[in-house]
Chains A and B, each alone.
Chain A
Amino acid sequence: MPISDQARAQMREIAARYPSARSALLPMLHLAQSEEDAITTDGINTCAEVLGITPAEVTAVATFYTMYKRERVGKHHIGVCINTMCGLLGGDAVWDAVVDATGASHNTTTPDGEFFLERIECQAACTHAPVMTVDWEFMDDVTPASAVEILDRLRRGEQVQATRGPVIRDFEATERTLAFPDDGLADAPSVDDKMLAGLKIAREHPIEGENA
């Protein structure tokens, strides 16, 4: 599917947010990726045209950032954090289980186009290790078994709720959110017990004195 006229107009909208239009390039590329499931030549050319820069300049940027993919991602992007904290606390086993369950490997898509697998770096959720992401939404505190179950449910088309985030949509929808973040999902659950761990203790043991 080529970049639609509507998306082209939306790219101009994004560019208008900034004092200098070129600042819009990253969110514009996210929008291009949400249209075509990858950064395609068409996507690059459209960004270049809207900003009045060369396709080579856009390509230089698109190839720098890990989130932009040159191959089609498929329906869901699956990330497993393998940085030290998550990996050693079980992420390595989660990764192995996900690979076994899908037959895909790092940076590849399953033949049915359902899952793209990626060994991801720290997701800023070390308190919730091991962490997996589905379309970049948090799946905290996973085990090999729970990770595979999530994939099974996605494959069956069942509703899957992120641990701190909305019900899973698909990769293209997330990419669209990154270009237009007002996606109507701000009421998604985002605070859990681990984020409240200290607050809970403080409530049970109120302090006295000037800092109270």
Chain B
Amino acid sequence: MVTPLTPVITEHWDRPNLYTLDGYRAVGGYQGLDKALGSDPDDIITTVKDAGLRGRGGAGFPTGLKWSFVPQGDGKPHYLVVNADESEPGACKDIPIMMANPHALIEGVIITSFAIRANHAFIYIRGEVPNAVRKVEFAVKQAREAGLIGKNIKGSGFDLDVVVHSGAGAYICGEETALLDSLEGYRGQPRLKPPFPAVAGLYSSPTVINNVETIANIPYIVDRGVEWFRGFGTEKSPGFKVFAVSGHVKRPGIYEAPLGITMRELLDYAGGMRDGSSVKFWLPGGSSVPMLTDEHLDLPLTYEAMAEAGTMLGTGTPMVFDQTVSVVKAVTRWLEFYKHESCGKCTPCREGTYWITGVLEKFEHGQGQQAEMETLTDLCGQIAGRSFCALGDAAATPYPAAMKYFREEFEASTHTSADEQFDPIASYVFAAAGVR
């Protein structure tokens, strides 16, 4: 049976005024908030736990469990911080959510803050996307004017202030503790954990940090219930996902579907590969997860199935590349990214990304040496697990994954450049079909 598409967060995106309070309310918006404010905060945490919602930012940590780590009755202020710093190469679903349906995020922010007893929430949006910043700010402003944010929200006695915060161009700030440092007005560099943010986060107070899509799920779960939510997806990966399919497919775009849909099904929805093209490699969710090939197209896109296949669901934004792409070039480009974005705090990551990139660039130019394939393996091994945060691990991921499936391309790159092996023009989306 073909897995159907199930638009929930994306259901009304074709309504031109969905971004306004009236537009969102017209499709049932803020009903979840009404239910939430009438219940015990602990019950909301339990609901989200029972729903089994897992973080949509990449790690897939159970959201309700994360919330329950916040100590209650501790006398300290609590904070909710939304991670809207979507910068992972390949990830392009939070920005669309914020531009199309910002009130789903805001409603989620209010409910979540109520549940964890936070009176202050921050939405940290990457500065490079001003159009998301202004949309979210507008939604906050409208919600404030309607009394959904502010003092004594709807007579509940609950106070909440929401601040929309612009970043300034640093991928590392998507790492939750670097984000906190950045939000405190410092360089965005990760902190050592523990203590975890749930205990000592923003201003050393208990803090929940959740991804945009995670929070945008909350109103729907609270409004429609655990059973409804678990009607989608699998036991370990319940719910639906805003998949963003990019690359050499006929119709790249946003496809919201239950977790457990296969890549082949998503590919079909996306119109299949462009003419004369076939899948060479694909990544389920960002450049930080190991690549897969066409032999993996029938695996369900769940946290557990992707882990079993040696990769991760990550951000759930599959990038699909066809036979025109040099895997050596693709991997080199990703490493150039990690090198640029390494914050410099940890030596293995700061120096390692520099050295890996240098050696990979030799391969890209056809000047790699046989022995340097082992050098690269060693370098990746020296970084993985040896840095404060996952950026180092991520940087150590693309090369070993590529070697697993495409060793011969690295072999060929000891004498022939990537551009000679693969005409770059053939991979352009605007290339004539005859070129490939």
User: Residues of A with Cβ closer than 8 Å to B?
Assistant: 17-20, 22-27, 29-30, 51, 60-61, 64-68, 79, 82-85, 87-90, 92-93, 120-130, 133, 136-138, 141, 143, 162, 164-166, 174, 177-179, 181-183, 185-186, 188, 190-191, 193-202, 205, 207, 210-211
Cα A177 to Cα B187 with chains together (Å): 22
When distances are taken between beta carbons in the complex, the residues of chain A under 8 Å from B95 are: 124-125
- Determine the residue in chain A with the shortest Cβ distance to B183: A23
The reply to whether B134 and A30 form a contact with Cβ atoms under 8 Å apart is no
- Determine the residue in chain B with the shortest Cβ distance to A28: B185
The reply to whether A88 and B330 form a contact with Cβ atoms under 8 Å apart is yes
Top 3 closest pairs, chain A to chain B, by CB: A197-B253, A198-B255, A186-B138
- Determine the residue in chain B with the shortest Cβ distance to A125: B92
**Partner among B6, B255, B340 whose Cβ is within 8 Å of the Cβ of A211:** B6
When distances are taken between beta carbons in the complex, the residues of chain A under 8 Å from B431 are: 90
**Partner among A20, A129, A201 whose Cβ is within 8 Å of the Cβ of B5:** A201
The reply to whether B256 and A198 form a contact with Cβ atoms under 8 Å apart is yes
The reply to whether A92 and B167 form a contact with Cβ atoms under 8 Å apart is no
Cα A63 to Cα B255 with chains together (Å): 38
**Partner among B254, B270, B340, B341 whose Cβ is within 8 Å of the Cβ of A195:** B254
The reply to whether B100 and A195 form a contact with Cβ atoms under 8 Å apart is yes
**Partner among B131, B245, B343 whose Cβ is within 8 Å of the Cβ of A127:** B245
B264 interface hit (Cβ, 8 Å): no
Q: How far is the CB of A2 from chain B (nearest CB, A)?
A: 22
Can you name 6 A-B residue pairings with CB atoms under 8 Å? A18-B163, A22-B185, A89-B247, A124-B92, A126-B247, A202-B6
When distances are taken between beta carbons in the complex, the residues of chain A under 8 Å from B337 are: 83-84, 121-122
User: Residues of B with Cβ closer than 8 Å to A?
Assistant: 4-7, 10-11, 13-14, 19, 77, 86-92, 94-96, 99-100, 120, 126-131, 133-138, 141, 163-171, 182-188, 203, 231-232, 243-248, 251-258, 269-270, 287, 317, 319, 321, 325, 329-330, 333-334, 337, 340-341, 343, 424-425, 427-431
Cα A136 to Cα B169 with chains together (Å): 11
The reply to whether A197 and B131 form a contact with Cβ atoms under 8 Å apart is no
The reply to whether B131 and A90 form a contact with Cβ atoms under 8 Å apart is no
When distances are taken between beta carbons in the complex, the residues of chain B under 8 Å from A201 are: 5, 255, 269
When distances are taken between beta carbons in the complex, the residues of chain B under 8 Å from A24 are: 185
Cα A87 to Cα B333 with chains together (Å): 9
Say whether, besides A65-B170, A177-B134, A198 and B5 are in contact (CB < 8 Å): yes
Say whether, besides A127-B245, A186-B135, A198 and B168 are in contact (CB < 8 Å): no
When distances are taken between beta carbons in the complex, the residues of chain A under 8 Å from B166 are: 26-27, 30, 178-179, 181
- Determine the residue in chain A with the shortest Cβ distance to B10: A199
Cα A147 to Cα B169 with chains together (Å): 23
Cα A212 to Cα B34 with chains together (Å): 24
When distances are taken between beta carbons in the complex, the residues of chain A under 8 Å from B256 are: 198-199, 202
The reply to whether A197 and B270 form a contact with Cβ atoms under 8 Å apart is yes
When distances are taken between beta carbons in the complex, the residues of chain A under 8 Å from B131 are: 137-138, 162, 164-166, 188, 190
Cα A207 to Cα B4 with chains together (Å): 7
Q: How far is the CB of B424 from chain A (nearest CB, A)?
A: 7
The reply to whether B429 and A130 form a contact with Cβ atoms under 8 Å apart is yes
**Partner among A26, A82, A197 whose Cβ is within 8 Å of the Cβ of B168:** A26
Q: How far is the CB of B138 from chain A (nearest CB, A)?
A: 3
The reply to whether A122 and B244 form a contact with Cβ atoms under 8 Å apart is no
The reply to whether B424 and A92 form a contact with Cβ atoms under 8 Å apart is yes
Say whether, besides A177-B134, A182-B134, A194-B254, A122 and B5 are in contact (CB < 8 Å): no
The reply to whether A197 and B187 form a contact with Cβ atoms under 8 Å apart is no
The reply to whether B185 and A84 form a contact with Cβ atoms under 8 Å apart is no
Cα A66 to Cα B246 with chains together (Å): 26
Q: How far is the CB of B93 from chain A (nearest CB, A)?
A: 8
The reply to whether B128 and A84 form a contact with Cβ atoms under 8 Å apart is no
When distances are taken between beta carbons in the complex, the residues of chain B under 8 Å from A83 are: 89, 333-334, 337
Q: How far is the CB of A90 from chain B (nearest CB, A)?
A: 4
The reply to whether A121 and B340 form a contact with Cβ atoms under 8 Å apart is yes
When distances are taken between beta carbons in the complex, the residues of chain A under 8 Å from B90 are: 85, 122, 126
Q: How far is the CB of A148 from chain B (nearest CB, A)?
A: 14
When distances are taken between beta carbons in the complex, the residues of chain A under 8 Å from B168 are: 26, 29-30, 65-68, 178
- Determine the residue in chain A with the shortest Cβ distance to B431: A90
Among B120, B183, B231, B248, the one with the most A-chain Cβ atoms within 10 Å of its Cβ is B183
- Determine the residue in chain A with the shortest Cβ distance to B258: A211
**Partner among A61, A122, A138, A185 whose Cβ is within 8 Å of the Cβ of B185:** A61
Q: A23-B185, A193-B253 are in contact. List 15 more A-B contacts (CB 8 A).
A: A22-B184, A26-B127, A64-B188, A83-B333, A84-B330, A85-B89, A85-B319, A88-B321, A88-B333, A162-B131, A164-B99, A165-B130, A191-B99, A197-B253, A198-B269
The reply to whether B130 and A136 form a contact with Cβ atoms under 8 Å apart is yes
Cα A90 to Cα B429 with chains together (Å): 6
Cα A27 to Cα B126 with chains together (Å): 11
Say whether, besides A182-B138, A190-B19, A90 and B96 are in contact (CB < 8 Å): no
Say whether, besides A64-B170, A67-B128, A178 and B163 are in contact (CB < 8 Å): no
Say whether, besides A90-B430, A181-B134, A123 and B128 are in contact (CB < 8 Å): yes
